[in-house]
Amino acid sequence: MSKDYYKILGVEKSATQDDIKRAFRKLAHQYHPDKQGGDEAKFKELNEAYQVLGNEEKRKQFDQFGATFDQQGGFGGGMNWEDFMRQARGGGGFGNINFDLGGMDLGDIFGEVFGFGGSRGNTKKRAGEDIELDLQIDFKDSVFGIKKEFELYKTVKCDHCHGNTAEPGTPFVKCKTCDGKGKIIKMQRTFLGSFQTQAICGECGGEGKIPEKKCSKCKGMGIVKNKEAVSVEIPAGIENGMSLRVSGKGNAGKSGGKNGDLYVHVRIRPDKRFARHGNDILQREKINFVQATLGAKIEIETLDGKVELKIPEGTQPNTRFRLREKGVPYLNSSGRGDMYVEIEVEIPKRVSRKQRELLERFGE
């Protein structure tokens, strides 16, 4: 039975590469065998799933053929699980290994678990967390798009020290813990044996220096909690349940780390007049028996305002009329869907004596 790599990483098939990368990073931390509660078998499975889904070409093959196509072991570029663990036993870290995993630097991931100094230098600035929120909009706003502005209470860069963690006017001094190197070399014992690692200094976060006097407002964190105005562009044609990513509008990172992202999950209020089917719109319109029989011109409401619709004589119940390009715009594209008007013929429950006579004569 083939494996479902999407299920293994806990993502949908529509997930973006960033979503997949984020899911793998989280689960790799959780199940790494050198962490308490880790699971080597699960970790290997996660690694296998990410090697495929984290590579766009392999992901296309997987979507088409499933997990039956040939793979190159646990890591891309010919490196498998045994190669990885052999490298770990050698104590060399991951700085010189080329992992073909969609651009993710595994030195970052395993550096946080083992304490390796990754290939990106000494600095270990923590990125801010993402923010997720639900935003409810009106049906018509989902059709034509709208700009929404609101306030978020979140972590922002400290306005007193401007995020550099030091009290304004005071200098930075060399970190005594790491002697200004930003790293600490230590021996670590695992079920694989002992090996030497370079750990980022926890005192200075890899900077090699610390404030002589910490910022009095943020206490040396570089961030504070505050309200921030956020503007989100809702594109025309968005569907209920879709999510928008606003880069850099999440929580601010500590010590100058980059901001997280804001994910807006759009919820659309139903409209009593219109029902959406893809990019088409369906509306039901009532006419009386005489209008259906003899024909008429009626005024109907569309997304763009009122228009006149001609009802030909002899129109039957449930007849649909098509109004071209009166539907929903195609998302991030040109053109619109159509609008369909379905006719309901109202039959009177009671008629007068004269009306009855006329109907009987008509029936003859």
CATH assignment of the domain containing 262: 2.60.260.20
Picking from 90, 114, 138, the residue at the C-terminal end of a domain is 114
Q: Where are the alpha helices (DSSP H) in 56-176?
A: 56-65, 81-90, 106-114, 139-144
**Look-up of token digits 């290997």:** 44
Residue 232: inside a domain, yes or no? Answer: yes
Q: Are 340 and 320 in contact (CB under 8 A)?
A: yes
For residue 78, the Cα-to-chain-centroid distance in whole angstroms is 31
Q: Would you state the pLDDT for residue 257?
A: 82
Question: 349 is in which domain, residue-wise?
Answer: 275-363
Instruction: Give yes or no: residues 91 and 35 share one domain.
Output: yes
Residue 101: inside a domain, yes or no? Answer: yes
Q: Would you state the pLDDT for residue 125?
A: 65
Picking from 54, 89, 114, the residue at the C-terminal end of a domain is 114
Residue 337: inside a domain, yes or no? Answer: yes
Instruction: Give yes or no: residues 48 and 144 share one domain.
Output: no
Tokens representing residue 326 in the block: 């009166």
Q: Would you state the pLDDT for residue 73?
A: 41
Instruction: Give yes or no: residues 227 and 250 share one domain.
Output: yes
Query: Domains in the chain: how many in total?
Result: 3
Instruction: Give yes or no: residues 240 and 313 share one domain.
Output: no
Q: Would you state the pLDDT for residue 345?
A: 93
Helix (H, G, I), strand (E, B) or coil at 336: strand
Instruction: Give yes or no: residues 89 and 131 share one domain.
Output: no
- Which residue in 108, 150, 129, 149 sits closest to 261, CA to CA? 129
Instruction: Give yes or no: residues 295 and 265 share one domain.
Output: no
Tell me the residue type at 237.
Answer: G
Beta strands 275-277 and 280-288: pairing type? antiparallel
Q: Would you state the pLDDT for residue 303?
A: 93
Instruction: Give yes or no: residues 261 and 234 share one domain.
Output: yes
Q: Would you state the pLDDT for residue 101?
A: 44
List the beta strands (DSSP E) in the chain: 131-137, 146-157, 172-174, 183-190, 193-200, 209-211, 223-234, 243-246, 262-268, 275-277, 280-288, 296-302, 305-311, 320-323, 339-346
Instruction: Give yes or no: residues 43 and 143 share one domain.
Output: no
Residue 59: inside a domain, yes or no? Answer: yes
* Tens-binned pLDDT, residue by residue, of the chain (364 aa): 568 899 999 999 899 998 999 999 888 888 877 666 778 888 888 888 898 898 888 888 888 776 554 444 433 444 455 555 444 444 444 433 334 444 444 544 554 444 444 434 444 467 889 999 999 999 999 999 999 999 999 999 999 998 889 999 999 999 999 999 888 887 766 655 666 777 888 888 888 999 999 999 999 889 999 999 999 999 999 999 999 999 999 999 887 788 999 999 999 999 999 999 999 999 999 999 889 999 999 999 999 999 999 999 999 999 999 999 999 999 988 999 999 999 999 988 888 888 788 778 877 6
Residue 162: left (phi > 0), alpha (psi -120 to 50), or beta?
A: left
Instruction: Evaluate if pTM is beyond 0.75.
Output: no
Picking from 210, 238, 270, the residue at the C-terminal end of a domain is 270
Residue 248: inside a domain, yes or no? Answer: yes
CB atoms within 10 A of CB 66: 13
Q: Are 227 and 208 in contact (CB under 8 A)?
A: no
The residues, ordered by sequence, that sit 6+ positions from 239 with a Cβ below 8 Å of its Cβ are: 142, 268, 276, 331
Q: Would you state the pLDDT for residue 68?
A: 54
Residue 350: inside a domain, yes or no? Answer: yes
Instruction: Give yes or no: residues 308 and 287 share one domain.
Output: yes
Q: Would you state the pLDDT for residue 205?
A: 80
Instruction: Give yes or no: residues 226 and 98 share one domain.
Output: no
Instruction: Give yes or no: residues 15 and 94 share one domain.
Output: yes
How far is residue 182's CA from residue 206's CA, in Å, rounded to a whole number? 4
292 phi, psi to nearest 5 deg: -65, -35
Residue 17: inside a domain, yes or no? Answer: yes
Dihedral through CA 87, CA 89, CA 91, CA 94, nearest 10? Answer: 30
Instruction: Give yes or no: residues 291 and 260 share one domain.
Output: no
Residue 35: inside a domain, yes or no? Answer: yes
Tell me the residue type at 178.
Answer: C
